Amino acid sequence: MADASEAVTEQIAAVLCAGPALVLTGAGMSTDSGIPDYRGPDGTRRVTPMHLSEFVGSSQARQRYWARSFVGWRRFHAARPNAAHHLVTRLQELGAVGPLITQNVDGLHQAAGTRDVVELHGNLVEVVCLTCGARIDRPTLDARMAAQNPGFDVDSDEIRPDGDVRLDAVDVERFVAPACDQCGADTLKPDVVFFGGAVAKPLVQHCFDLVDAAPSLLVLGSSLQVMSGLRFVRHAARRGIPVSLITRGPTRGDDLVDHRVDGELGDSLRSLVDLVEVEVRGAAAPR
């Protein structure tokens, strides 16, 4: 880590030691777990996920989504927390961070032992019927899709942040999309916020309340390109709440933050944990 980054990391450590920060995480948290983010280093979107209006608009779109998701789920579900996830948990154990808001839908923060996680965009492990409201867990639905699509084992080395892959049209056309076992409709949808969808207002308000109650905000692995996360950074800045940011490349919120490290999350968080541990040990030493 460069000297300038080391100095900024020390400043962030001092902020965290003054009181547990609220954490906001984005797709960059999970790249080292094998789940790529949506954007390249320059902020340009690498893939275009399915829009909510497209998903709800036709059975063909839902068939395409579920075929891709069926193939992608195996790699997505096999992903495990990386060092950055575990280091955030360690910061929480040290009392340097408190609740965490994540824009990710992979459940890796919880798998790493982090507590008080708010999933802003939901979690792919839950599926809901848009027609009758019935719910089913994704592993159960996956087993059902496997039974309905014997031999559907399409090779793909791609995976996306929302768990699907790119498939040829001929593969999609032979896939039997799942139907709700309660009402029979083909309107099953992962209980996540699709692009073009909106986070429920009560959940957004809860996140604003968390920002208001926090002594500082720590943003990790997010380009802040979408308003879903940027609004909390803007809110903190308006309220005079210090904002620290660690991620690779430029972000939409760079002009709003007080401390900024442009670097790999694993290395940066390791340095941050080391600094906080020294401070905690010093505070606990007898005088």
The amino acid present at 23, given as its one-letter code, is: V
Distance, in Å, from the CA atom of 28 to the CA atom of 84, rounded to the nearest integer, reads 10
Q: Is 207 annotated as a binding residue?
A: no
Could you give the strand order of the β-sheet that contains 122-129, starting from the edge strand earlier in sequence? Answer: 135-137, 122-129, 188-192
Distance, in Å, from the CA atom of 4 to the CA atom of 50, rounded to the nearest integer, reads 40
Residue 92: partners with Cβ closer than 8 Å, 6 or more residues away: 20, 98, 100, 114, 115
3-state secondary structure of 125: strand
Please give the structure tokens belonging to residue 111.
Answer: 């798998």
3-state secondary structure of 213: helix
Q: Can you state the angle between helices 138-148 and 59-78, rounded to 10 degrees?
A: 120
Strand partners, 85: none
Alpha helices (H) in the chain, listed in sequence order: 3-17, 52-57, 59-78, 83-93, 108-111, 138-148, 169-173, 201-213, 227-238, 265-284
Please give the structure tokens belonging to residue 118.
Answer: 């708010």
Please give the structure tokens belonging to residue 70.
Answer: 């069926």
Catalytic one of 77, 121, 206, 259: 121
Closest Cα partner for 13 from 282, 283, 271, 281?
271
Q: Is 129 annotated as a binding residue?
A: yes
Distance, in Å, from the CA atom of 108 to the CA atom of 100, rounded to the nearest integer, reads 12
| 121 included as an active-site residue | yes
Q: Which residues are catalytic?
A: 121
**What residues are designated binding site for Zn(2+)?**
129, 132, 180, 183
